[in-house]
Amino acid sequence: MKWDFLKVDTLPRSPPRARAISIMAGVGCLTGLISSLPSPLPDMRLENPEVLINAEGVPLHAGIVFGAGVAIMLRLWSSRDLGKCLLAMALIILAWLAAVNTANDVMDAVVGSELFDTVQGAKASREAVGWILAGFVGGAVGAGLTAFGSGVPAEEIRRPEAWGVIVGVGALCGFLLYPAASLDQIAFLFVPWQAAVAASIAYGIARR
């Protein structure tokens, strides 16, 4: 087995698609596990507008680690331009922040609404719907911006059939927010979401 596609002194090229997907899924699992560790930093928010940057359950390092993992693989497989790969990493970090805050906004909107009116169990039902919609919308937003960032060094990702898969996978995996929140196990969201989105990126850039 040749591993020259991992060398930085050769022209960038990806391995065959099946192997690339497996490798990127592994990278996503690793970054997902690291992302699931509680943040050692204090809660951080911006005011006017209110933007959540870091919290114990939604740590900033999740975006940093995932962004770094994807950027490293893009440098190995798509572009030797370090500036483009660093820009991709920065955009993926912003994608994480956008996903988290979008999910928070959706959750707040649903819980604060009059959905289910005043029937018995309405509050619990609103919370359940809020978690489901927040995960779906937040997952789609995060995946979409991740695809945008990945497309900076990887032109292959700019094709609709490539970024469309990434967005769709991110949105579907976002549904895992509900069970992850219910069980208080954020790894149930982070690990599969990052693994699946990373694998989708590999699907878009890899050789058949």
Chain segment 122-136, per-residue pLDDT in tens? 788 888 899 999 999
| Res. 51 pLDDT band, cuts 50 70 90 | confident
Mean pLDDT of 26-47: 89
The Cα diameter of the chain in Å comes to 65
pLDDT at position 24 is: 96
Query: Is pLDDT above 80 for 200?
Result: yes
Determine contact, residues 171/189, Cβ cutoff 8 Å: no
What is the pLDDT confidence band of residue 52, given thresholds at 50, 70 and 90? confident
pLDDT tens sequence across 75-116: 999 988 999 999 999 999 999 999 999 999 999 888 887 777
- H or E segment to which residue 45 belongs: strand 44-46
The more confident residue out of 167 and 16 is: 167
| Residue 45, strand partner residues | 52
Angle at 133 between CA 136 and CA 199, to 5 degrees: 10
Task: Give the model's confidence band at 43: pLDDT under 50 very low, under 70 low, under 90 confident, else very high.
Answer: confident
Whose CA is closest to 62, among 178, 171, 182, 190?
190
* Residue 1 confidence (pLDDT) above 50: no
Residue that is written with structure tokens 């331009």 in the block:
81
- Each domain of the chain, given as residue ranges in start order, spans 13-205
Q: Is the peptide bond before 49 cis (omega within 30 degrees of 0)?
A: yes
Name the DSSP class of 49: T
- State the residue for tokens 């359940």: 128
Show the tokens assigned to 146. 């991740």
Cα dihedral 12→16→22→133 (10° resolution): 80
H helix or E strand, kind and range, residue 138: helix 122-150
Cβ–Cβ < 8 Å for 203, 165: yes
By percentage, how much of the chain surpasses pLDDT 90? 64
pTM: predicted TM-score of the whole model, two decimal places:
0.88
Greater confidence, 8 or 158? Answer: 158
